[in-house]
Amino acid sequence: MAQCVQSVQEFIQDSFVPLVAALRSEEAERLTRKNNLSFAELVKPFCRLTSEVHMRDPNNQLHIIKNLKIAVNNIITHPPQPGAIRKLLNDVVSVSQPAEGLVANVITAGDYDLNISATTPWFENYRECFLQSMPASDHEFLNHYVACMLVVSSSEPEPVEQFLKLSQEQHRIQHSSEYLYPKWFIPNTLKYYVLLHDVSTGEEQRADSIYEEMKQRYGTQGCYLLKINSRVSNRGTDEQIPDPWSQYLQKNSIQNQDCYEDCPYTVISNKSSDHLISDGLDSEIKDGLPNNFKTHPLQLDHPSGSLDSTDYTKAATSLQDSKKSNSGMPHGACLTLTDHDRIRQFIQEFTFRGLLPHIEKTIRQLNDQLISRKGLSRSLFSATKKWFSGSKVPEKSINELKNTSGLLYPPEAPELQIRKMADLCFLVQHYELAYSCYHTAKKDFLNDQAMLYAAGALEMAAVSAFLQPGAPRPYPAHYMETAIQTYRDICKNMVLAERCVLLSAEILKSQSKYSEAAALLIRLTSEDSDLRSALLLEQAAHCFINMKSPMVRKFAFHMILAGHRFSKAGQKKHALRCYCQAMQVYKGKGWSLAEDHINFTIGRQSFTLRQLDNAVSAFRHILINDSKQSPAQQGAFLREYLYVYKNVTQLSPDGPLPQLPLPYINSSATRVFFGHDRRPAEGEKQAATHVSLDQEYDSESSQQWKELEEQVVSAVNKGVIPSNFQPTQFCLNHYSDNSKFPLAVIEEPIIVEVSFRNPLKVPLLLTDLSLLWKFQPKDFNTKHEGETKELGTCDGAMIGTEAIAEFLINSEETKVARLKLFPHQTGELHILGVVYDLGTVQGAVTLDGIDPSVGLQTGKFVSNGLSVRGRQDLEIQGPRLNNTKEEKTSIKYGPDRRLDPIITEEMPLLEVFFINFPTGLLCGEIRKAYVEFVNVSKCPLTALKVVSKHPEFFTFGGNTAALTPLSPSASENCSAYKTVVTDPTSVRTALLSSASSVDFGVGPGGQPEVINVPLPDAILLPGASVQLPMWLRGPDEEGVHEINFLFYYESIKRHSKMCHRVLRHTAVICTSRSLHIRATVCRSNALEDEEGRGGNMLVFVDVENINTSETGVKEFHIVQVSSNSKHWKLQKSVSISEDKDTKLASRERAKLCFKAVRCKNSEENYTFADIVFGNEQIISSASPCADFFFQSLSTEFKRTHVQSHTHASQRAGKQSFDETVRLIQRCSEVDLNIVVLWKAYVVEDSKQLILEGQHHVALNTIGKEAFSFPQKQELPEMVLLKFFRPENTPVPARPTPEQLSNLIKTSFHYPESFSHSFHQKSLCLVPVTLLLSNCSQAVVDVMIDLRHKTSPEALEIHGSFTWLGQTQYKLQLKSQEVYSLQLKACFVHTGVYNLGTPRVFAKLVDQVTLFETSQQNSMPALIIINNI
């Protein structure tokens, strides 16, 4: 139980006090009414004695009485009606509420920290009022009057006669049969005569004389002169007199209500209120509120029921009215502090001289009567031991006893006399004697089976045993249990049972027996009184929490039960308080259904009490937790919530919009998109893919777009990225970099995608859904700033807001809404959240299976009319910072500014469409398409560029107009190339042309990935469109290729915030295999060409058709082979086959051989040599053939560009050994590129199509095979890991034997056969010419050694012949020089000889080391010597 202000001893003593009746004359009542008080009320604050009192027991032993209190009540001749008692108790509890600001008691139990009210004043007030309002009964005398005060005013004409009348009236009330109420203790009631004298108006001498007469008539101990009203009530209020009456009058006990004297107390209640049960104390009304026995206390109210404020009954009206009437005039206005002392003295005199002697005398008389009647020992007191020491008769159980509750004793019965004596002893705190008497009476009553009397004796015997000083015996709790069971089950008297429980529970609590006390309290809860059950359940809950090991969950459960019973009793505030205290235990522990029930009840009770904010909060909790309720129950919760919210908003319609709890918003998933929705494809027109909200975020792709934009910005700004560069982000989401304010363009929409989730099992209908924003206009061209305008959702002049009329979210569905804003001014925009009407749909439960998309159809769903307007804020937490040490050691988050765009000035807006753009190509296939550029804005755009990671995939043609137009013959054949008809005599012979790489956007220092789009006049005006041709070439590797285009453009006007804009397009091309080309180049043995210069080469081209027949390709035709180089050109075809055209079916291979010679022209331009196999020459130096060729070589350009810089920086110094090696290596390098142009004949849908394409092979090294696309390298075999660092020992670079052999090229000129007559001349001399060719660009010293090697193997190989003349020659060859050396070989007999025996050594002029050239790659020089 909760803590009480009084101790248990004080509580019991104050509950049972001597009762004194007050009978006053009308004039005496008038005197007291001057103070707004009746006589009984006047003396009430002074009825507790401040000093000890002494009296003697029947054994003449002195007995001390401490802290004695008496009760003076006006005589009420009608017993209080049960309905009145119930209403009074209900009012007492209703007005007693926890004090505001009261510090709650914090109890820590396990994981719980509970704030619980330490005291329960409403329970104490109820208990006090309940005990005081108990009507007197015949089986006990505790509520019977012991004495009667007769009060007469001194101002009456004949006060003594008035006393006589009052005395007769008292006698008539006590002894006449017409008055059954009140009850009197003994027939000879003490009468105490009080003369009331008004000091301010009466004559004191007259009062004194009357008092003297009274003393002579009634004795000095039977009368008293009380002087009051020492001051006039209308005197100045400078003197403040305390008011001790207010605390007593607020309780407003029934005994003090004067209305009982004049008329019976009537109560307006329902028709069953006056139907009393047998004991005349309880009724079936159950606190004026009907019960439903079929419902469980924890069952929720009917789900479809909505709150109604009419069920709130103001139970405390009568008390509040009485308080208002009493508080209008102060109490005791005519009394001074001296008067207070006089009243106090009067009570003391009455008690000392009148009451206690009377009681002492009565006890003696009763004791004597009992001794004489029973024939017992001289005194009952001395016989107590004898009674207890004798043999005990076993007590029968309650169930064995007959129902004899109706047995009545006559007033003079000895059993009642014992009980009367026991009660008197109890009232004057003589608990030991009282216990003896109660125990004796208990045995007598049980023997007679008078169960009501026996229960009363048991009850008071237990209390007396507890109150005995020194505790000679333990508290007999079983006495109380027997009494309670008897009252309740046999006597059917719940009032007396309740009194027993209240007393016993308080005693058990004082002994820390909280578990037993709780069980006792719970046992008395029943359906007959909700108020009593609620109070007892609450006290039981407090018992559980105050135990040594607090039982927190039992506390909460019983608080819930108490709250439910409070609610049924109409005590809404107490019900709400109980539920709130229990909520502390259930909250956040996973008891979701219990939480829902508590929150629902708290919401309803709060709404009934007009605590609307609390009601909203409680219903909010039901909805935002993951509810496990059924759909019907959730629908009921939601409707209740909407109903409450609507009432809240109606109270303050102009207030701020409330925050709604539903649906959930995943703020971090919010996406913001800047820009228009792109137009879809129309026929052959395909719009650029750009960016849309339907695309998934890809970090790798995002990084690629960022790099492309940085590349083009760097190219525009001469290789430098500006410091204020901000990558364009069209769609901001959780993954993007949101640390900077995004830029949006005026008059272009901003789309915010908000992710909603409905946690309920019923659909939610959002209507009039739009964004909430604030805007600060700014002109970025001037320094003046406009005023900030917030929440201008209706201000369409600044920001246009698009609203979604209906947005349905099905049960447990996640759905996104895309909301648009249209900025009409420049400035700073802040998107705050969303605003909408939240409602439900009629027949909501049946809509679970509906497709969510239909919710957007306006008017499709009918709301049930219950919706509230509210908002939800979008609060996005930025990324956690983790850069500095401070950020790593603490939790800090960066900003996320995706919802705070800056609206900039007008910018151009480009749309791109692709016409006849293919989706599938053969590898190397050339296809012509068109690109349409449209400016859909109101300002012109310029500086249009496109950048891609795959520039070799497309071209817009060369820079010069002469290179791009199509020839008539090509247009006839739908060819993408520029062609001319060839002369039949020129077949297989090179046709020459030249072109510069600069014409095609490729060259040293340029960025081949950034391509200027050739707009006419370089400007695209507003609304204008232009179509440009675009040639595409299929990538060399088969498969699916994603190729990203980034179009860059600027406005003609320079803006401070946004410098450029970009447009993205991703093309997906599927390529299939076509041709595979391998090529090698080697030096020709014929060192002289037609013009006498050396350096001819042979080019071998191996073409294989690797296409599979699945693509429908019938065959490939090689129509032309072209070369592109600054130094070499193809001269003619030396193929053996005479076929004019080279055809390749599937898996066929063709070998082609060409002769290549050096070019004569300058090194600035490339020489294009075309060898045509058909009757039409494709001009390889024009677009698109030359474009794709140059783009394929762009990486080579970068490499040579870097190397040329390196060489330039080293020319000033002395050439090192590495440079020497480089010169030698360069001898074996060749810069020759082969372009194979082909046509493929495809059969598709019974039609034959001709596709065309080209493949490139770059020949860089003599003798090394090159391919049309890189070969896949095989993965190396797995090797063991080596856990050591390799030594970095630099190995000096040395030329390879192949490179050395290419430094000097040698060739012999001699007759293949030579006839000689060995008979005539034994020696045969043959002239041999040795040609030496310097292949390098430097001057070379050459040494020729003609001596044979002496090894036997050499003799065997070379045969026996000798060179005549010098054995060594030393020469110096200039760059590219060919030197002819005349030699003579001497043979001695016929045979076949190899003349390739000379060893050739070479070195650069300024080097010391000689390098021997190798003849391994040269053909053997065989000569036949014949004899004639």
More confident position, 557 or 962: 557
pLDDT tens for 547-560 read 888 898 899 899 99
Q: How confident is the model at residue 1324 (pLDDT cuts 50, 70, 90)?
A: very high
Range with the poorest average pLDDT among 562-576, 783-797, 1096-1110, 1129-1143: 783-797
Beta-bridge partner residues of 1248 = 1243
Please report the pLDDT score of residue 642 as a whole number: 83
For residue 937, is pLDDT > 50? Answer: yes
- By the 8 A CB rule, do 838 and 642 touch? yes
Neighbour tally for 1301: CB within 10 Å: 25
The pair of three-digit structure tokens given for residue 1302, joined into one six-digit string: 């290419």
Q: Helices 612-624 and 631-651 sit at what angle, rounded to 10 degrees?
A: 150
Please report the pLDDT score of residue 1316 as a whole number: 92
Please report the pLDDT score of residue 1278 as a whole number: 60
Q: How confident is the model at residue 268 (pLDDT cuts 50, 70, 90)?
A: very low
The 3-class secondary structure across 354-371, one letter per residue, is HHHHHHHHHHHHHHHHHH
For the residues 453-475, what does the mean pLDDT come to? 88
* CA–CA gap between residue 1179 and residue 535 (Å, rounded): 107
Would strands 979-981 and 1176-1178 be described as parallel, antiparallel, or unpaired? Answer: antiparallel
pLDDT tens for 1195-1248 read 555 544 544 454 444 444 444 556 767 777 777 788 889 999 999 988 877 788
Q: How confident is the model at residue 497 (pLDDT cuts 50, 70, 90)?
A: very high
The 3-class secondary structure across 1043-1107, one letter per residue, is EEEEEEEEECCCCCCCCEEEEEEEEEEEEECCEEEEEEEEECCCCCCCCCCCCCEEEEEEEEECC
Q: How confident is the model at residue 831 (pLDDT cuts 50, 70, 90)?
A: very high
Please report the pLDDT score of residue 622 as a whole number: 73
- By the 8 A CB rule, do 116 and 562 touch? no
* CA–CA gap between residue 986 and residue 1172 (Å, rounded): 8
The pair of three-digit structure tokens given for residue 924, joined into one six-digit string: 């190397």
Range with the poorest average pLDDT among 40-44, 434-438, 797-801: 797-801
* CA–CA gap between residue 882 and residue 893 (Å, rounded): 9
Q: How confident is the model at residue 959 (pLDDT cuts 50, 70, 90)?
A: low
Distances (CA, A) of 144 to 73, 134, 177, 186: 11, 11, 17, 9
pLDDT tens for 128-171 read 899 888 888 888 999 999 999 999 998 888 888 999 999 999 99
- By the 8 A CB rule, do 1165 and 997 touch? no
Burial class (CB in 10 A: 0-12, 13-18, 19+), 661: buried
For the residues 1023-1027, what does the mean pLDDT come to? 91
542 SS3 class:
helix
More confident position, 126 or 1000: 126
For residue 377, is pLDDT > 50? Answer: no
Q: How confident is the model at residue 240 (pLDDT cuts 50, 70, 90)?
A: low
pLDDT tens for 853-905 read 444 344 455 556 688 889 999 988 888 888 888 878 888 888 899 999 999 99
Neighbour tally for 1315: CB within 10 Å: 12
For residue 1093, is pLDDT > 60? Answer: no
User: Which of 1072, 1126, 1130 shows the shortest CA–CA distance to 1101?
Assistant: 1130
Please report the pLDDT score of residue 1331 as a whole number: 85
Range with the poorest average pLDDT among 85-94, 759-768, 1035-1044, 1223-1232: 1223-1232
For residue 244, is pLDDT > 70? Answer: yes
For residue 34, is pLDDT > 80? Answer: yes
Give the neighbor-by-neighbor strand order of the sheet with 1361-1364: 1304-1309, 1324-1334, 1378-1387, 1361-1364
- pLDDT exceeding 70 applies to what percent of the chain? 77
Q: How confident is the model at residue 1315 (pLDDT cuts 50, 70, 90)?
A: very high
User: Which of 1100, 1082, 1096 shows the shortest CA–CA distance to 1298?
Assistant: 1082
For residue 770, is pLDDT > 90? Answer: yes
* CA–CA gap between residue 1302 and residue 1306 (Å, rounded): 10
Burial class (CB in 10 A: 0-12, 13-18, 19+), 1205: exposed
* CA–CA gap between residue 572 and residue 565 (Å, rounded): 10
Give 1294's DSSP letter: -
pLDDT tens for 1082-1092 read 887 665 554 44
For the residues 1348-1352, what does the mean pLDDT come to? 61
C-alpha distance across the termini of the chain, in Å: 148
For residue 105, is pLDDT > 90? Answer: no
1222 SS3 class:
helix
Most confidently modeled range among 1271-1275, 1315-1319, 1402-1406: 1315-1319
Beta-bridge partner residues of 1404 = 1340
pLDDT tens for 1278-1297 read 656 655 555 554 444 566 66
Q: How confident is the model at residue 111 (pLDDT cuts 50, 70, 90)?
A: confident
User: Which of 345, 360, 334, 61 shows the shortest CA–CA distance to 226?
Assistant: 345
The pair of three-digit structure tokens given for residue 651, joined into one six-digit string: 């109270």
Distances (CA, A) of 979 to 960, 973, 1133, 1142: 17, 10, 20, 19
Would strands 1142-1144 and 1075-1083 be described as parallel, antiparallel, or unpaired? Answer: unpaired
More confident position, 177 or 321: 177
Would strands 1422-1427 and 1313-1316 be described as parallel, antiparallel, or unpaired? Answer: parallel
- By the 8 A CB rule, do 1316 and 1427 touch? yes
Please report the pLDDT score of residue 8 as a whole number: 87
More confident position, 224 or 317: 224
The pair of three-digit structure tokens given for residue 605, joined into one six-digit string: 């009770």
* CA–CA gap between residue 847 and residue 812 (Å, rounded): 12
More confident position, 230 or 496: 496
Sign of CA dihedral 1342, 1343, 1346, 1347: negative
Would strands 145-153 and 19-24 be described as parallel, antiparallel, or unpaired? Answer: parallel
* CA–CA gap between residue 586 and residue 989 (Å, rounded): 98
Please report the pLDDT score of residue 843 as a whole number: 56
For residue 738, is pLDDT > 90? Answer: no
